[in-house]
Structure 1
Amino acid sequence: MRPWLIITICITLFSPFISQAEPYPEQRSNRQLAVTVCNDYRENNRLPCFVSRNDCPRGFEVIERFTDSSGPTFSACRDKRHERPRLSMPPGGRFAGKNPQLLKQFDRLVSAIEKGQVGRSMHLPKASREQLGHFFSAIDLTRIKLVYSKALANGCFTDCRQIFCASGDQVNAWTDPQAPVLSIRLLHQLAHVERCEIQGGRERFVRTWLKHLPDEVFNALDRGEAIDTEMIHFAMYMESHANNRAESICRRLSCERE
Structure 2
Amino acid sequence: MRLRNITTICLTLFILGDSQAEIEHAQRSNRQMAVTVCNDYRETNRLPCFVSRKECPGGFEVIERFANSTGPSYSACRDKRHERPRHYRSSSRLFNTNNQQLLDQFKRLIGEIERHQTGAPAHLPQASQDKLAVFFSGIDLSRIRLAHSKALTNGCFTDCRIIFCASKDQVDVWTNPHAPVLTIRLLHQLAHAERCEIQGGQHRFVQTWLRHLPEDVLTALERGEPIDTKKIHFAIYMETHANNRAESICRRVRCIKD
TM-score of the pair, normalised by structure 1: 0.72
Give the 4+ runs in structure 1 shifted more than 6 A: none
What do the CA deviations read for 1:134-165 (whole angstroms, capped 9, x no partner)? 00011011111101001000000011011000
Match of 1:56 among 19, 30, 37: 37
Cα shift at 1:112: 0.1
What do the CA deviations read for 1:20-75 (whole angstroms, capped 9, x no partner)? xxxxxxxxxxx9xxxxxxxxxxxxxxxxxxxx844425541343322489922222
Distance 1:54 1:89, change over 3 A: closer
Task: Give runs of aligned pairs for residues 140-155 of structure 1, distance below 5 A.
Answer: 140-155=140-155
Q: Return the letter of the residue paired with 2:41.
A: F
Task: Give runs of aligned pairs for residues 86-165 of structure 1, distance below 5 A.
Answer: 86-88=90-92, 98-165=98-165
Q: Is the 8 A contact 1:66 1:75 kept in 2?
A: yes
Q: Is the 8 A contact 1:55 1:74 kept in 2?
A: no
Q: Is the 8 A contact 2:53 2:73 kept in 1?
A: yes
What do the CA deviations read for 1:80-102 (whole angstroms, capped 9, x no partner)? xx637423569xxxx86844300
TM-score of the pair, normalised by structure 2: 0.72
Distance 1:131 1:217, change over 3 A: same
Secondary structure class of the residue paired with 2:153: coil
Stretches of structure 1 that go unaligned for 5 or more consecutive residues are: 1-30, 32-51
Distance 1:250 1:124, change over 3 A: same
Q: Is the 8 A contact 2:139 2:197 kept in 1?
A: yes
Using the alignment, how far apart are the partners of 2:222 and 2:38 within structure 1? 51
Distance 1:89 1:203, change over 3 A: closer
Cα shift at 1:218: 2.0
Using the alignment, how far apart are the partners of 1:141 and 1:57 within structure 2? 18
Q: Is the 8 A contact 1:60 1:78 kept in 2?
A: no
Distance 1:125 1:71, change over 3 A: same
Q: Is the 8 A contact 1:85 1:199 kept in 2?
A: no
Q: Is the 8 A contact 1:174 1:180 kept in 2?
A: yes
What do the CA deviations read for 1:90-120 (whole angstroms, capped 9, x no partner)? 9xxxx86844300000000000000010111
Q: Is the 8 A contact 1:117 1:149 kept in 2?
A: yes
Using the alignment, how far apart are the partners of 1:60 and 1:114 within structure 2? 36
Percent of aligned positions with the same letter in both sequences? 55
Stretches of structure 2 that go unaligned for 5 or more consecutive residues are: 1-29, 43-47, 56-70
Q: Return the letter of the residue paired with 1:209.
A: W
Cα shift at 1:250: 0.5
Q: Return the letter of the residue paired with 2:52.
A: F
What is the aligned length? 203
Distance 1:122 1:138, change over 3 A: same
Secondary structure class of the residue paired with 2:182: coil
**Counterpart residue number, 1:21:** none
**Counterpart residue number, 1:215:** 215
